[in-house]
Structure 1
Amino acid sequence: MSDSQREKFERFRAMHFDERPLLVGNAWDAGTARLLASAGFPALATTSAGYAFAHGRLDSAGALTRDEVIANAAEIADATPLPVTADLENGFGHSPEACAETVRAACEAGLVGGSIEDATGDARDPVYDLDVATDRIAASAEAIRGRGFLLTARAENYLCDRPSLDDTIRRLQAYSAAGADVLYAPGLPDLDAVRQVCASLDKPVNVVLGIGAVRFTVSALAEAGVARVSVGGSLARAAYGAVRRAAEELLGPGTADYLSEAMPGSEIAALMER
């Protein structure tokens, strides 16, 4: 690990213990990484959803390969001086060894963090048994021990139609004991659930904005005890929404009012020259 990568890791880890939650911007390519950095985000994350959309694919299990995701994440990490953590899906394999290989590859690509989820990708059995899931996190933690990589463990119950808060907390506690540095349960239904998760854990908790109808605010999440706030694929979806509205305007009334909200080409050029 280079001195630069080590410094990014130390900076990233410390951000999880500030008084305010760390707000992470999820980029899907080098250009959006530079845009989000210029906006003031102190750290970045990748988004498998945003990357999949940009390549005309579904955001679903098996849609992206490990090599594709790591290469995309490396481009994002190279684009700015900010720390970058990666969405590593379910580790691109069922075995603990596959997860270990994935986090090692992410670290070697210049990333200072990454998440492993406990979703199987099989609709008939969507979440790994707890023992299997815990072994996967333990193997991932061992693979990057001492290498300057912040491991996030995700409990996917609420995204897999298994809305059990008790089981979610039990899983996150097990992942913490197995060596995860940050804990994450996407899709929590309300602030009370967020509070219970944070109060039940001994590691920083990440909460994602933009899933379902819930509209958390950063200040409310801070009061609930959240250490890190990410936005998942919601910025990518917002960008797609803007393109669709512009297209509908052109194909409908034929006006171009969308240009009033477009970034000037000179500002974009300045970002890409860095």
Structure 2
Amino acid sequence: MTTSCVEFRALHHSNRPLLLPNAWDYASAAALAARGHRAIGTTSLGVAAAAGRPDGTGATAAETLALARRLRTLPVLLSVDVEAGFSADPAAVAEYVAELAGLGVVGVNLEDGRADGTLSDLEDTADKVAAVKAAVPDLFVNARTDTWWLGVDDPMPQTLARARAYQAAGADGIFVPGTVDLATLRVLTREIDAPLNALYQPGGPGLDDLGRAGVARVSTGSLLFRAALAAVVAVADDVRAGGLAVPDGPRPAVLDGLPSYAEVQGLVPAGGAET
């Protein structure tokens, strides 16, 4: 097992949950790396929307691979969101993920939610997990079940059944987005014998509370990308309305921490990122 894979696994067994911020392009990943984040994930919504494609439909296999290739030069442990694997064929999924691993990727998210708002057959996702683990045993497979995310009836039994099936197929972690209820998370972490990943929700529990509930990893998902879009719109609206600053007035909060042109330039290698 590579040193990077060992380190990434160890981050799921620390005293505090691993915070995995999710990037959508080279600059966002480089900025997070510069702020000291050792591990970074990608967000499928951000990657898809930046490419002008819908999320969750298997339309961004090429864009996701190209982004992983660009990010390989950054000093981070990279986990990639591959939606449902960009194929219904487990062998094709495994081949794709093996290519990511060849670029230095240490983990993937593999989900069981479909674009039509339903869950895939449990066996189909388990077969994909098994195929990936057979092809790349060292890779950390974070199997995501969308039982809460899609609002299925009585989600707990389905979640546990799917989590156990994915673990039996070789999954290294289980991702259950859509709930940050601490009592629910305590049940999940007690019943699932693998690191549990929760999706951070603004206004919800913080890292310490989630950690006390047994959560091992906390992802930001598309939050950072959507926050960036909100800032884009807010600045444009303020400029259109007459300017960002009123003379002698307070500095707009949206400008706090704004990187300079030179600082952004400094995030990118002189020769450019790989494509």
Using the size of structure 1 for normalisation, the TM-score is 0.88
Give me the whole-angstrom Cα distance separating, in 2, the residues matched to 1:217 and 1:54: 29
Give me the whole-angstrom Cα distance separating, in 2, the residues matched to 1:186 and 1:75: 27
Q: For the Cα contact (< 8 Å) 2:81–2:109, is it kept in 1?
A: yes
Shift of 1:261: 4.6
Shift of 1:233: 0.9
- Point out the more displaced range, 7-16 or 261-270: 261-270
- 1:143 aligned partner: 135
Which stretches in structure 2 are left out of the alignment for 5+ residues? 246-251, 271-275
Give me the whole-angstrom Cα distance separating, in 2, the residues matched to 1:175 and 1:249: 48
Q: For the Cα contact (< 8 Å) 2:142–2:175, is it kept in 1?
A: yes
Q: Choose the corresponding residue for 1:91, options 85, 96, 120.
A: 85
Give me the whole-angstrom Cα distance separating, in 1, the residues matched to 2:234 and 2:24: 21
Give me the whole-angstrom Cα distance separating, in 2, the residues matched to 1:83 and 1:254: 40
The superposition leaves residues 158-192 of structure 1 with CA deviations (integer Å, 9 ceiling, x where unpaired) of 22231511111111111111100111111125222
Shift of 1:98: 2.6
1:81 matched to 2:72: no
The aligned runs of 1:1-274 (5 Å cut-off) are 6-64=2-60, 66-78=61-73, 80-123=74-117, 126-145=118-137, 148-163=138-153, 164-188=155-179, 190-210=181-201, 215-256=204-245, 257=252, 258-273=254-269
The superposition leaves residues 62-116 of structure 1 with CA deviations (integer Å, 9 ceiling, x where unpaired) of 342x2221111221232x1111000010011112223222221221222011111
Check 1:180–1:260 CA distance in 2 against 1; reply closer, same or farther (3 A cut): closer
- Point out the more displaced range, 262-271 or 149-158: 262-271
Q: For the Cα contact (< 8 Å) 1:183–1:203, is it kept in 2?
A: yes
Give me the whole-angstrom Cα distance separating, in 2, the residues matched to 1:63 and 1:22: 29
Q: For the Cα contact (< 8 Å) 2:38–2:76, is it kept in 1?
A: yes
SS of 2:143's equivalent in the other structure is strand
CA RMSD between the two structures:
2.0
Give me the whole-angstrom Cα distance separating, in 2, the residues matched to 1:176 and 1:259: 45
Q: For the Cα contact (< 8 Å) 2:40–2:79, is it kept in 1?
A: yes
SS of 2:148's equivalent in the other structure is helix
Give me the whole-angstrom Cα distance separating, in 2, the residues matched to 1:268 and 1:103: 31
Shift of 1:266: 2.9
- Matched residue pairs, number? 262
Which stretches in structure 1 are left out of the alignment for 5+ residues? none
Shift of 1:120: 3.1
Shift of 1:260: 4.9
Check 1:20–1:191 CA distance in 2 against 1; reply closer, same or farther (3 A cut): same
- Amino acid of the structure 1 residue aligned with 2:132: S
Shift of 1:156: 1.2
Give me the whole-angstrom Cα distance separating, in 2, the residues matched to 1:200 and 1:77: 36
Shift of 1:46: 0.9
Give me the whole-angstrom Cα distance separating, in 2, the residues matched to 1:254 and 1:19: 46
Q: For the Cα contact (< 8 Å) 1:154–1:185, is it kept in 2?
A: yes
